[in-house]
């Protein structure tokens, strides 16, 4: 089943502003370290004053001028509350370790691939980026998107959400926002049924169920004043449909998002 295959990929990956939207983007080149860095700046004033920037670090696998693996990951530089700073530091560590693990785990694989197929242009890719999707007095939410390509028919993209309580620094779960998890599951199934039937698998319902057994973690993020639940490629629909973000009806929520 497609769902199973994607979830295995996801597990491997994890093992190995008083404004709501975020601010401007600038780019710069660090010649000494050969790092291409994209920086996003955001600030929040008032009681919970804080600022942060997001940089993209390049740790590509390059040998004798040949790029074997193009690898990038984000780093969030945060200035503000100590609790939130600690939580973001843990997220940074996680994202860095995942990128480094991919590099180590695939170092020999890509070289063997090139030798066997005599394809000097072959290259693996791991492109992890993160975007601030909500920054207000209550919540700070990020959406991490990771694209992986290992010379198959196409690459795969996985999205993960990280939402924090601005005052405590706590990493929040769906249970912190939703009144009743079973009602959320019903809402998601009904949402799928109300869409174009040709878009979704016949077994979409049972695939949704898998996220409510504790076996897998259902991803979400706060975006444009809404809580959106995220289904990955192959989860409930074919690859061509892409990642599906479902806005949750506010009647299911037990907190105000703004």
Alpha helices in the chain (DSSP H): 2-15, 82-105, 107-117, 181-193, 204-210
Residuewise pLDDT in 10s, the chain (258 residues): 444 444 444 444 434 332 334 543 333 333 223 344 445 555 554 455 678 899 999 999 999 999 999 999 999 998 888 899 999 999 999 999 999 999 999 999 999 999 999 988 999 999 999 999 999 999 999 999 999 999 988 999 999 999 999 999 999 999 999 999 999 999 999 999 998 778 899 999 999 999 999 888 999 999 999 999 999 999 999 999 999 999 999 999 999 998
**DSSP code at position 12:** H
- How far is residue 212's CA from residue 174's CA, in Å, rounded to a whole number? 11
Q: Global pTM?
A: 0.82
- How far is residue 6's CA from residue 218's CA, in Å, rounded to a whole number? 13
């Amino acid at each position: 089943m497609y769902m199973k295959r994607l979830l295995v990929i996801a597990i491997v990956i994890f093992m190995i502003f008083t404004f709501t939207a975020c601010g401007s983007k600038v780019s710069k080149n660090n010649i000494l370290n050969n790092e291409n860095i994209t920086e996003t700046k955001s600030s929040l004033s008032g009681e919970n004053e804080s600022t942060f920037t997001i940089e993209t670090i390049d740790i590509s696998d390059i040998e004798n001028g040949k790029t074997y693996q193009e690898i990038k990951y984000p780093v969030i530089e945060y200035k503000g509350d100590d609790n939130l700073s600690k939580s973001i530091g843990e997220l940074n560590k996680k994202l860095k370790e995942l990128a480094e693990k991919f590099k180590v785990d695939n170092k020999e694989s890509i070289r063997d691939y090139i030798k066997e197929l005599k394809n000097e242009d072959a290259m693996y890719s791991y492109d992890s980026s993160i975007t601030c999707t909500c920054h207000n007095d209550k919540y700070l939410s990020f959406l991490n998107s990771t694209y992986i390509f290992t010379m198959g028919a196409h690459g795969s993209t996985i999205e993960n959400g990280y939402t924090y309580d601005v005052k405590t620094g706590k990493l929040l779960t769906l249970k912190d926002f939703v009144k009743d998890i079973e009602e959320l599951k019903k809402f998601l199934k009904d949402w799928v049924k109300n869409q174009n039937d040709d878009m979704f698998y016949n077994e979409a319902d049972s695939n949704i169920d898998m996220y409510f057994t504790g076996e897998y973690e259902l991803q979400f993020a706060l975006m444009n004043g809404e809580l959106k639940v995220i289904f990955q490629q192959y989860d409930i629909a074919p690859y061509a449909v892409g990642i599906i973000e479902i806005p949750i009806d506010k009647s299911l929520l037990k907190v105000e998002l703004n």
